[in-house]
Amino acid sequence: MLKETYHNPLLPGFYPDPSICRVGDDYYMVTSSFVYYPGLPIFHSRDLVHWEQIGHGIHRPEQLDYKNCKTSEGLWAPSIRYHDETYYIINTFVSAGREADRDNYIITAKDPAGPWSDPVVVKGADGIDSSLFFDDDGSLWYVGNYISPDCLYEGHHGIYLNELDPETFQFKGPRYIIWDGVKTRNGLRHRIFIKKMAGTIFLLQKAAPLSTIAYRWHAVVRFRAITKSVQETLSSLTDICLC
């Protein structure tokens, strides 16, 4: 029986789509903020229960132009990462309509409390809810989703990887489709993360049919090579767990 308990929500109020990274004994979290400014609130914790806000990722008016954003647009589902003494946030900025302009951009800081850099838009990065993955060799990867041109069912999306230049934050090399959505047929894939533990790569994702919010599932996929698709690795050392 647990000797200590805590009560949810840990952060009462409006803090959707949290993303957390660990640096030593410290945890840092960023959440969505949509059209509110300053944007992307950042929190610090030592125990994952007690959180203190320390800053914002978007804290200068010149960083982003909100003027064309409607209420449900703006800053969607950020992801925070730490690598080589630098903090990274990748985020989707939606303006001029939910299906129109979607800019996936990266900001950086030496201190998670700020100041944060001006956004660098990743050219050609379609989709929403992107994240970053640093491999053991120092390579930087963009993890994103895309609308399938096959359109086999409503909301047919897939997941892709593309290496990024660590200086310019632009794509280099080919795009790898690691989940084409043909067999799973579960609509939009979002909140996509890649983790690596003991040499094994794990893909975590949430999926939701566009026609309903009542049925959503989470999946954890295990595979060995980052550029191999789920279909290619299903027959060797790959597990899929649906939650």
Q: Does position 121 have pLDDT exceeding 90, yes or no?
A: yes
**What is the residue type of 146?**
Y
Per-residue pLDDT, 119: 98
Encoding tokens for residue 216?
Answer: 């959503």
Per-residue pLDDT, 32: 96
Encoding tokens for residue 89?
Answer: 């946030």
Quote the DSSP letter at residue 48: S
Q: Among 102-111, 118-127, 175-184, whose mean pLDDT is lowest?
A: 175-184
Q: Among 47-56, 161-170, 230-239, whose mean pLDDT is lowest?
A: 230-239
| First and final C-alpha spacing in the chain | 25
Per-residue pLDDT, 234: 40
Q: Among 40-49, 72-81, 155-164, whose mean pLDDT is lowest?
A: 155-164
Average pLDDT for the chain: 82
Instruction: Give me the sign of the Cα torsion angle 63, 118, 205, 229.
Output: positive
Per-residue pLDDT, 99: 61
Find which of 73-77, 106-110, 139-143 is predicted with most confidence, using mean pLDDT: 106-110
Where are the extended beta strands (E) located within 61-170? 74-83, 86-95, 101-109, 120-121, 131-134, 140-147, 157-164
Which secondary-structure segment (H or E) carries 232?
helix 230-233
pLDDT above 90 as % of the chain:
51
Q: How confident is the model at residue 177 (pLDDT cuts 50, 70, 90)?
A: confident
**Average pLDDT of the residues in 106-132:** 95
User: What is the arrangement of strands in the sheet containing 120-121, beginning at the earlier edge strand?
Assistant: 74-83, 86-95, 101-109, 120-121
Please tell me which residue, 38 or 196, carries the higher pLDDT value: 38
**Average pLDDT of the residues in 6-13:** 89
Closest of 70, 204, 53 to residue 129, by C-alpha: 204
Residues 182-217: tens digit of each pLDDT: 766 665 556 777 878 777 777 776 655 544 444 454
